[in-house]
């Protein structure tokens, strides 16, 4: 009889430990606000590389990654 009570107590303790450990892990990972910092990307008309719009050069309705590419594309 005492062995049965001891076994029941061990099972209850293990159950409670597992329940508390499972409750500590977050169910949803924290949201990353990287999308708030995201910037529109544009494609260089000369080479096709994608770069942030703020770093590009706009000329004649086209975006370029450098002044050299702007000049090279304009001479075509």
Query: What are 18-39's pLDDT values in tens digits?
Result: 988 877 656 666 666 666 678 9
Q: What is the model's pLDDT at position 61?
A: 92
The predicted model gives 37-49 an average pLDDT of 92
Identify the three-state secondary structure at position 59.
strand
Q: Token pair for residue 58?
A: 């706009």
Task: For residues 11 and 16, give the distance between their C-alpha atoms in angstroms, rounded to a whole number.
Answer: 9
Q: Which of residues 57 and 34 earns the better pLDDT score?
A: 57
**55 close to 69: Cβ distance less than 8 angstroms:** no
Indicate the pTM of the whole model. Answer: 0.52
Query: What are 1-18's pLDDT values in tens digits?
Result: 899 999 999 999 999 999
**Eight-class DSSP state of 48:** -
**Eight-class DSSP state of 35:** G
**In the chain, where the domains are located:** 40-76
Average confidence score pLDDT of the chain:
86
């Amino acid at each position: 009889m005492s062995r049965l009570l001891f076994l029941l107590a061990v099972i209850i303790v293990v159950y409670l430990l597992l329940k508390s450990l499972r409750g500590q892990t977050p169910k949803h990972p924290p949201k990353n606000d990287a999308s708030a910092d995201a910037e529109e990307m544009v494609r260089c008309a000369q080479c096709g590389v994608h770069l942030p719009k703020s770093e590009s050069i706009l000329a004649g309705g086209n975006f370029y990654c450098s002044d050299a590419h702007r000049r090279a594309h304009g001479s075509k």
